[in-house]
Structure 1
Amino acid sequence: MGSEQVGTLIVGAGIAGLSAALSLHAAGMGEGVRVVDGSRRLLPLGAGINLQPHAVRELTELGLGERLAAVSAEPRRLRLTDRHGNPVAEHPRGRDAGYRWPQLSVHRGALQELLLEAVRERLGPGAIRTGLALESYRHLDDGVAVTLRDRANSDAPEELRASVLLGADGLHSAVRRQLHPGEGAPRWNGIRMWRGVTRAPAPLDGHTMVIAGSYRPARAVVYPVGDGQVNWVAEVRVSEPGPLSDADWSRAGRLSDVLPHYEDWRIQGLDIGRLLRDAPGILEYPMVDRDPLDSWGEHRVTLLGDAAHPMLPVGSNGGSQAILDARVLTWHLAHHRDHPEEGLRAYEHARLKPVNAIAAACRDMPVDRLLDTVADRAPDGFARIEDVLTADELTGLRGAMRRTTDMDVETLNSGPSWSV
């Protein structure tokens, strides 16, 4: 078994892993960085993703702002409605909420391609290797010995010796599995999601995200993602919560399974049924997360992105937090260049508690509870939301929307850069 010495080994070529590689390069620590991924080919898969201003700032500081804007749409407001389209509340987003940076909505595949291209440009075409799955690792005095298995030749394991090992390998992380053996299956909240991207005119004014309906029993999320495409998410409660071992982000869904839940929806300016029928493909997966960890790593190993803190996709936070992980991690490694263990622990100290709080909040969103209340009290619609929710409930709803979007405008706008 051969053994090659590298600098930082990143397992996983998704948003977290590629952002980490770019951040290390920008900090002058790109030499010897290697990214490995178990997929044979890194394809532009998935559907839409929202990047909060916090993440857009970081990608802009990495020199990717113009590229990102060219493939994205900029939502300026979020509108909540019932399943009939009656308005419940509306709230500004991104720059309209006062941030210096926009919120951007982009196809995950387009973001993946943008990051891949930048890594290959800056770190060289050999910086990323595909078809290699992590099998195990062991600690050394001055690094980590990592055993990788080539999926095209499972009889030929390969060993790399790295100064630092970063697990950015997602929900089913092999690095996390060795760090926390016996953790068990992801936790499903009972909601099934169908997602797609349809070529269609942008809904409403072209700058509005819409959340319609509630989890009693179904809701839809719709927003443009640039290039004449509209992302939609159909979310239906189908089961009681419980563990689920076969959560798969790439499973194909069937129109016949999801369309009946929305066939009778009539929302002015937003034809949910047509968006579903005209989508070239549908993805189906459960809404899952994992319980938070007390630590992400040990010695010269740590986790980032979904490998560290998979969260329910209800607060537009997963991808954004992965990018922030990469930037904060790099900053601390750069400030502990001679002692990477200290840098990794400092990163965890900075990120673990606030990210775990976000993940916990995604499990119990006050906005979701109030939308359920609207559905319960006015299943056939309403003329005025004031006839459905009390004044205190409306105040609580607007406060909850603000807490999940723009409570930290001044903090971000005036905060120091994570660039090294």
Structure 2
Amino acid sequence: MSQIWIKNGLFITMDDAKPTVRGHMVVTDDRITYIGEAEPQGLSESVETLDGSKLAFMPGLINTHGHAAMSLLRGFSDDQNLQVWLEQKMWPMEGKYVDQDTRAGSALAIIEMLKTGTTAFVDMYDRMDQVAQMTEQSGIRGCLTRGVIGLCSEELQKEKLADAIQFARDWNGKANGRITTMISPHAPYTCPPDYIEKFVQAAHDYQLPLHTHMSETIAEVEQNVRDYGIRPTFHLDKLGFFSRPALVAHAVHLHDEEIALLAERGVAVSHNPVSNLKLASGVARVPDMLKAGVTVSLGTDSAASNNNLDLFQEINLAALLHKGVSGDPTVVPALEALRMGTVYGARAIGQEGQIGTLAEGMKADFIAIDLEQPHFYPQTDIVSHLVYAASGKDVQHVWVDGRQVVKHKTCTFMDEEKIRYEAAASFERLLKS
């Protein structure tokens, strides 16, 4: 049994009644076994102690949408609309990927996420065995899925679907439960209706959640109406997509009826504000979704459309953007924005009650923020500071499943210098090939 006692820390628990506690926390193996103001009792003789007096501890951040291997394409194509960016820049480069490129890009993304406080991430891509291996090695928690574009022959469609199912079955529950899997047709505009139905059936067959891109741009919505006569939300519902636990990325362009349907079906949304702004896709109706009872979490999308994986930036923008758009400064309060990056993220990936809060019995996925910096003074309201002043660069330590995966800003299970070198080498090969 391993045990850690964090003394005299400031803990952001995310509990509705008492979101902060000044005191102590004990981690035993992979779980939080005590949190409170009084000193803990009955600890093991071999307990490891940590002075938390200059640190703030909070649940690890949960990034609910991304494509980790695309970190190789960071800065390769900026200032384009989505379709040009995808079809003329991203897809041709991604078509040159080999296993080593996916491995290098995923490793680069994972160390960036860990060092900026993300302890769990959703990833949709291909060659997902490479992503899963890097997830297992690094110590991060991953909800992984083989994303499938169906604009190909029927034979290739079958191969891709079989690959997606095989990956989901092989890796679900691996890495001591840190890896879970989903089934993911890429989007309604890249997958024919009958093909999406096959993914839905596979999700039922293997009791897995579903994930897809939906209503990211006006052009995408208009195309769906031209091709199928209805908007993407109703289209997916008609195909049975929401008959399984479902997470949709973006959901920027929705009517009231679509928001109501998502709430009724229990569909979660991954809000990606930075990517949506950079690609000029629009601003999602997040306050309306939250008011309707839709679970809204946060994602970075890829480093090629962001261009970083710092979820603190998404939290900050989620709080600010919707104030500016609505003209209402109360519309997404600081604590609600922080919930989007923690509590609601856990709910979106079906792990509420396991991660996303600091409480006895929860998995020990948490991060430590260095408070001894000018932008945290005076120390008035820590939630406000985390949302409006903090960034991923303030993260000092990270634990996942009770194991310290970042110590003094350095990953403990990953060779960062090697990863940076291999990522640079992969990009140079892609440029020349």
Structure with greater helix share of residues: 2
TM-score range, shorter chain: under 0.3
Structure with greater strand share of residues: 1
Q: TM-score, normalised by structure 1?
A: 0.24
Q: TM-score, normalised by structure 2?
A: 0.23
